[in-house]
Chains A and B, each alone.
Chain A
């Protein structure tokens, strides 16, 4: 319930009930705050992180190869499955 409260997904009635409860319940309130900090830290974690430049270059090269091998750049999702594990590191 606390988790859904954080996400604003409780029904109006449950939300009112929980807010009333939180006013009188220190342990729940403290727990909610730490849960909120945890979810917030996860969100911050997602804001960082870019692809290694070498990986992007390698993918661009492989996409070029794919084109030359006859794909016209419009492979339907079903057919795309034939691209099995390509071990990138061995290719460079």
Chain B
């Protein structure tokens, strides 16, 4: 589960207005970041975060357990994302393409030499790589995207992800695996194009 949720639950327990505001900032930030990654659009993400908070906050004191609160927050935010129309438009056509891009034995030779010249930190710090990753996430069909965002970005565990999405843990693992491979392949292609450009220049 996302650390911000644990923080927020602690702040809510404090009971004063200042702590409540901090908790609200953490929870809103979580909903906003989630929605932005899923929808790819800051305006939609603001609407979704706002609607999620208005639904969540009146009952928030009932959750002393951060995991349960988190699952509920993501569940509400996910439903709101699906209701906002922009999300669905990528979905159907790309499922095949995702399947096409599973690694095959033919990739083996290229893979054997494959060393990425970057660490996870660098991917996020280098603007063009970060954009590439964010774009790749948005290219994922939504059923894969939601799993990848919850599991790998928001750091929910398999059971929490399954609960937030209303799917089985087995489905979470399968979609996560495919989603990760897709992102990996997209980054690989990009890094490859960079290094071949460098090669031509040098």
Q: Which residues of A come within 8 Å of B, CB atoms?
A: 2-4, 7, 9, 26-28, 30-31, 33-35, 37-46, 48-52, 55-56, 58-60, 62-63, 66, 71, 73-77, 80-81, 83, 85-89
Contacts and interface: CB of A to CB of B under 8 A. Distances in A.
Interface in B1-53: 2, 21, 24-25, 28-29, 31-33, 36-37, 43, 46-47, 49-51, 53
A51 B130 contact: no
Interface in B107-155: 107-109, 111-116, 118-121, 123-124, 129-130, 133-134, 148, 152-155
A44 B89 CA distance: 27
B58 interface: yes
B190 to A, nearest CB: 12
Contacts of A2: 177
A50 B29 contact: yes
B124 A26 contact: no
A3 B177 contact: yes
Given A60-B21, A80-B59, A88 B46 contact: yes
Is the contact region of chain B dominated by helix, strand, or loop, or is it mixed?
helix
Contacts, number: 162
Given A31-B184, A38-B180, 8 more contacts: A30-B113, A31-B114, A33-B115, A41-B187, A59-B57, A60-B24, A76-B59, A77-B72
A39 to B, nearest CB: 5
A57 to B, nearest CB: 10
A48 B56 CA distance: 23
Interface residues of B, number: 62
B58 A80 contact: yes
A43 B119 CA distance: 12
B50 A58 contact: yes
Top 7 A-B pairs, shortest CB-CB distance: A40-B120, A75-B58, A42-B152, A41-B123, A49-B33, A3-B177, A46-B153
B49 A51 contact: yes
Contacts of B21: 56, 60
A33 B116 contact: yes
Contact of A55 (B49, B116, B154, B181): B49
B54 A86 contact: yes
B176 interface: yes
A10 to B, nearest CB: 11
